Amino acid sequence: MTSTITKEKARAVSTEIKQAVEEILTRHNMNLSQIRTGHGEWFEFKVTATAIDLGLNGVNMATKEAQYYQRFGWTVYGNGPDFKSEQLIAPLGTMFTSQGKTYLFAGCAPSRKKYPIVATEVGKTELTYFTETVVAKINRAATA
């Protein structure tokens, strides 16, 4: 009989490893971007980290989302017969408000089809993902 690693055990181990990894990355001026875990016949723990290169308003310019936006920009295409487009023109670090919270525009994630616009809540480090409907709000905040 083969023993398996349960979801609860994997979660407990992941929590311990995450704390240690965050401390190590902080010492080396890096930021934890993503953790992926797997469990079953074996336990898998994958870490993705980025260097910290703070730009406007504290946005990490070294993330893949920030670098993508700086290289390629972002354009939103509307529906309907005219397919009107709107280009995202705001600089990284633009502050905008959504649902009563203040966010900093942090880049674009093209692989996330439904939520490609990336931001961080002011005072926090984790990324928040938005639909393209927030583009007009970010552009208005940049020109205000």
Is residue 26 scored above 80 in pLDDT? yes
Residue 41, both tokens: 């016949």
Tokens 């181990």 correspond to: 13
Residue with more model confidence, 22 or 123: 22
CA distance linking residue 18 with residue 37, whole number of Å: 11
Q: What is the pLDDT of residue 81?
A: 76
Report the pLDDT averaged over residues 16-21: 95
pLDDT in tens, 54-105: 887 888 898 899 999 999 999 998 777 777 889 999 999 999 999 999 999 9
CA distance linking residue 63 with residue 69, whole number of Å: 10
What is the DSSP code string of 59-90? -BTTSHHHHHHHHH--EEE--SSS--EEE--P
Q: What pTM was estimated for this model as a whole? A: 0.73
Report the pLDDT averaged over residues 16-27: 94
pLDDT band at 15 (very low <50, low <70, confident <90, very high): very high
Is residue 2 scored above 70 in pLDDT? no
Percent residues over pLDDT 70 in the chain: 99
